Amino acid sequence: MPRFYVTTPIYYVNDAPHVGHAYTTVNADALARWHRLVGDEVFFLTGTDEHGAKVAEAAAEHGMSPQEWADTVVQRFLGAWRDLDIANDDFIRTTEPRHHHAVQAFLQRIYDNGYIRLDTYTGLYCVSCEDYYTPEQLVDGKCPIHGRPVVEMEEENYFFELSRFEDRLLRWYEENPDAIRPATKRNEALSFVKGGLKDISITRTSMHWGVPVPWDERHVFYVWYDALINYLTAVGYGADEERWRLWWPAVHHLIGKEIVRFHCVWWPAMCMAAGVDPPAHVFVHGWLLVGGQKLSKTLVRQQADSADADDADDAADATDAADRPVRLTEIAPQALTEDFGVDATRYHLLRDVPFGTDGDFSYEGLVSRYNADLANNLGNLVARVATVVGSKCGGIGPAPDPESALAEVAGDVVSSAADAWARIAPHEALEQTWRLIGAANAALEAAEPWKAEPGPAVDAVLGDALEVLRLVSLLVSPAMPATSTEIWRRIGLDGGPQDRRLPADAAWGGYPGGVPVEKGEPLFPRRKA
Ligand code: MSP
């Protein structure tokens, strides 16, 4: 059975989850669900990055120990993923003993292999990035990403001799042209390496919130150096040889564009140094950017309204914030799910921002996508079919016509959607699926069964539409699990789409007919713009 191992970055617990985090996690979840549907053995990993100066700083600001702080914030991530119906197989926290153990085993191997040396480091450090910058990289003397002042640090550090991996990395990119996608990001990594690699400092003595260095207890590992190894920890590196070799290196790392260097340069080099194969796939996505002003006003207010009474300061801040453009990091995933529902939020994140490029995120965009695709198309098809089956077929769904013209569209949609999911292009997979919904709505409008006398012609049209609903339910199940199960149930089928296997169960004609069809409440009531 093919295996599919997919990961999200592990999120820093310095602050609460926001829709940018939800974007990656929902995409990973949909991909994992798709691969389960096609019968792959799936392992979907997400988790939290709990060490480092940024987390220690946030903890101190809140008068807590870093561990207490991490224990508190991790609950918000777990809650957000529960709300969004994320079905991860494991959740890793870097403060867990299993992770400390794997990090120490992995880095000891690199040390024993002679790629780590002791030296003194002086540099300009941005605590938000947990990264050093050269003076040339700064913008107006500040961090180019966060715009906050950098601090000059001098430490005795252990260094990973990254510079010794230039040739090996270049060869790796060359021999594995698809390892880093899209190609623009592969080229970015390639030119970074061609520009010359410096050795990197991988330990700290100035702080203690990290994984202890096994050969020198005065040091802890630098947060990025421990974080990357989570992908190996979770499959049992250093603990269960047989298991991790089953899943590694055929992993798919999904990452945001600002962490390419860590995943596409450092991480493969670290793996090579430890005698482990580099990850097979790194897929880089863009950022969600906030567009319309209305988004800020509505959603920030909503967050303020739902803030706890003792969070009065935060609530006031949030209300003031309604007058300035909102940052994406201020939008909690919950603000969207409460307003639009879980599946509509998931659909929007998957459909509107092509995975791989930046995308505009706006309240207006959300509403118009919701109305067009969910209320007018999918919701309408479900409601219409059930109503007419009620009035013309006594509520019993007829079987589809094996020769239906829709069969051809369906076959084409199923294979192009499958191809798109396999290429990590959920927006295309959904676009294809909506082509089938559109075709079924058009066929109904052309035949107008609601005006016709009951009989074989009406049965055939409705049977076809029910078959389309069965197929659509299968195809959208990775994106909208609850909705697809509900459609499945309403059209009288047993179990759920998740219990089916593609492509076999997506062949035209699977709807049995002769089963009760239920009308139910509108799935996606229309929203005011
Ligand atoms: N802890 C590191 C990752 C370590 S992985 C071994 C980290 N954490 S993070 O919480 O800052 O960011 C995690 C991910 O969230 C990144 O991939 C980042 O791109 C993503 N996003 C943060 N803001 C985002 C948007 N506005 N849009 C899309 N993704 C965004 O980096």
Same domain, 147 and 41: yes
Same domain, 308 and 266: no
Strand (E) or helix (H) holding 335: helix 333-340
Same domain, 318 and 219: no
> Side chain identity at 427, as an amino acid letter?
H
Confirm or reject: Cβ of 328 under 6 Å from ligand 1.
yes
Check if the beta carbon of residue 437 is closer than 8 Å to that of residue 472.
Answer: yes
CA distance 486 to 497: 10
Is residue 76 included in any domain, yes or no?
Answer: yes
288 Cα to the center of ligand 1, angstroms: 11
Is residue 526 included in any domain, yes or no?
Answer: no
Same domain, 69 and 179: yes
Is residue 360 included in any domain, yes or no?
Answer: no
SS3 state at 474: helix
Is residue 528 included in any domain, yes or no?
Answer: no
Q: Is the bond into 402 cis (omega within 30 degrees of 0)?
A: no
Is residue 356 included in any domain, yes or no?
Answer: no
Ligand 1, atom 9: closest residue by C-alpha: 11
The string of DSSP codes covering 107-149 is HHHHHHTT-EEEEEEEEEEETTTTEEE-GGG-BTTB-TTT--B
Which CATH number fits the domain that encloses residue 183? 3.40.50.620
Q: How many CB atoms lie within 10 A of CB 217?
A: 8
255 strand-pairing partners: 284
Count Cβ neighbours within 10 Å for each residue of 85-109 and write b for 16 or more, e otherwise.
bbebeebbbbbbebbbbbbbbbbbe
Same domain, 320 and 196: no
Number of domains in the chain: 3
10 Cα to the center of ligand 1, angstroms: 8
Same domain, 31 and 161: yes
CA distance 464 to 521: 22
Same domain, 324 and 393: no
pLDDT tens for each residue of 27-85: 999 999 999 999 999 999 999 999 998 999 999 999 999 999 999 999 999 999 999 99
CA distance 318 to 265: 39
The string of DSSP codes covering 160-207 is E-GGGGHHHHHHHHHH-TTSEESHHHHHHHHHHHHT----EE-EESS-
Which CATH number fits the domain that encloses residue 497? 1.10.730.10
Same domain, 186 and 263: yes
Check if the beta carbon of residue 270 is closer than 8 Å to that of residue 197.
Answer: no
Confirm or reject: Cβ of 173 under 6 Å from ligand 1.
no
Check if the beta carbon of residue 186 is closer than 8 Å to that of residue 180.
Answer: yes
Instruction: Supply the DSSP symbol for 278.
Output: P
Q: How many CA atoms lie within 13 A of 89 on its CB side?
A: 16
Ligand 1, atom 7: closest residue by C-alpha: 11
- Model-wide pTM > 0.75: yes
Residues designated catalytic: 18, 21, 126, 129, 143, 146, 294, 297
Same domain, 271 and 139: yes
Is residue 522 included in any domain, yes or no?
Answer: no
The token pair that represents 461 in the structure block: 């049209």
Confirm or reject: Cβ of 128 under 6 Å from ligand 1.
no
Given this model, what pLDDT does residue 323 score?
Answer: 52
pLDDT tens for each residue of 481-511: 999 999 999 999 999 999 999 999 999 999 9
Is residue 527 included in any domain, yes or no?
Answer: no
Same domain, 31 and 104: yes
Same domain, 275 and 307: no
pLDDT tens for each residue of 434-471: 999 999 999 999 999 999 999 999 999 999 999 999 99
Domain that residue 317 falls in? 295-331
Same domain, 436 and 310: no
SS3 state at 21: helix
User: Quick one: which atom of ligand 1 is closest to the CA of 12?
Assistant: 10
Is residue 475 included in any domain, yes or no?
Answer: yes
Confirm or reject: Cβ of 258 under 6 Å from ligand 1.
yes
21 Cα to the center of ligand 1, angstroms: 6
CA distance 178 to 181: 6
Q: What burial class does residue 1 get, using C-beta atoms within 10 Å of its C-beta: 0-12 exposed, 13-18 middle, 19+ buried?
A: exposed
Instruction: Provide the percentage of residues in the chain whose pLDDT is more than 90.
Output: 80
Is it the case that residue 136 has pLDDT exceeding 50? yes
Ligand 1, atom 24: closest residue by C-alpha: 20
CA distance 242 to 42: 17
Instruction: Provide the percentage of residues in the chain whose pLDDT is more than 70.
Output: 93
